[in-house]
Amino acid sequence: MQIRLILLDFDGTLADTRRANTLAYVATLREAGYALTEEEYAAKYFGMRCDEFLTHFGIADPAERERLRLRKIALYPAFFDTVRLNRPLWEFCRQFRAQGGRVWIVSTGSRANIDNAMRHLGISVAGRRSRETAPAEAVGKGTGKACTGTADASITGSDAAGWDAAIPDTAMKPAPDEGPNGAVDGILSGADVAHSKPAPDCFLEAMRREGCTPRETLIFEDSEIGLEAARRSGAGYFKVTL
């Protein structure tokens, strides 16, 4: 079997953005006169989409929720010193792309937040390459055993049993049209599909755009709703723990 496409969740999978997101929300709500601590956000609201979080927090006015959402996006970059790239996973993806594979970010998060964080991490969106590029060979013939990275993360095998992915050790130089740390081939965010995770729509849409089947796709996710979406998509998947 050949894997031609890798789909990556962003927050908690490709990048550890937990504290940056938390601090941005705390600062945003403090400005607006609401009391929220890091501990409260982490315990009750982390992982919710912005509108869902603000609704659960008790802000009923849609216009106020939208104002706070935009303010959070503006404040978010101020906390990027706490963002950490999942380097073992990212180096694996760069190696996969170098062999002709395609890599997309598929997230329910805000596109503006993803773009800002990616700029900070030095990752760009590459220009569309020809689909005549030879697809990568499958990442491995594996045994279904766990695939463990460095101190940055561990990647645990799931229904993608049969793949034994090796994380490359060598650094790679970016192509001229890429950021300092390389590029992805595309991004799908929460606004791009009608139904968010755990519906599989976002993953299926990325496959459709690349002309790939679920059997040609491998998904990396960290959250339970993301993993459920991956299961429903029919693709193989791995759970990432940062």
Q: What percent of the chain has pLDDT over 70?
A: 79
My answer on whether 68 and 128 are in the same domain is: no
Residues 68 and 95 in one domain: no
- Same-domain status, 11 and 127: yes
Asked if residue 119 and residue 66 are part of one domain, the reply reads no
> Tens digits of per-residue pLDDT, 210-224?
999 999 999 999 989
DSSP per position, 167-183: PP-S--PPPTTSBTTBE
Indicate whether 94 and 163 sit together in one domain. yes
The pLDDT tens digits of the residues spanning 57-92 come to 999 999 999 999 999 999 999 999 999 999 999 999
Q: Answer with the one of 47, 82, 117 that is the final residue of a domain.
A: 82
* Residues 24, 10 share a domain: no
Indicate whether 90 and 115 sit together in one domain. yes
Burial call 137-175: b when 16+ CB within 10 Å, e when fewer: ebbeebeeeebebeeebebebbbbeebbbebeeeeeebe
Q: What is the CATH number of the domain that holds 168?
A: 3.40.50.1000
Based on the domain organization, do 184 and 204 belong to the same domain?
yes
If asked whether residues 28 and 90 sit together in one domain, one would say no
This prediction's pTM: 0.77
C-alpha to C-alpha distance for 130 and 232, rounded to whole angstroms: 29
Residue numbers of the domain that contains 64:
18-82
Tens of pLDDT along 130-176? 333 333 333 333 323 233 333 334 444 444 444 444 444 444 566 65
202 neighbors 229 (Cβ within 8 angstroms): yes
Q: Domain containing 74 — which CATH number?
A: 1.10.150
**Does 118 share its domain with 75?**
no
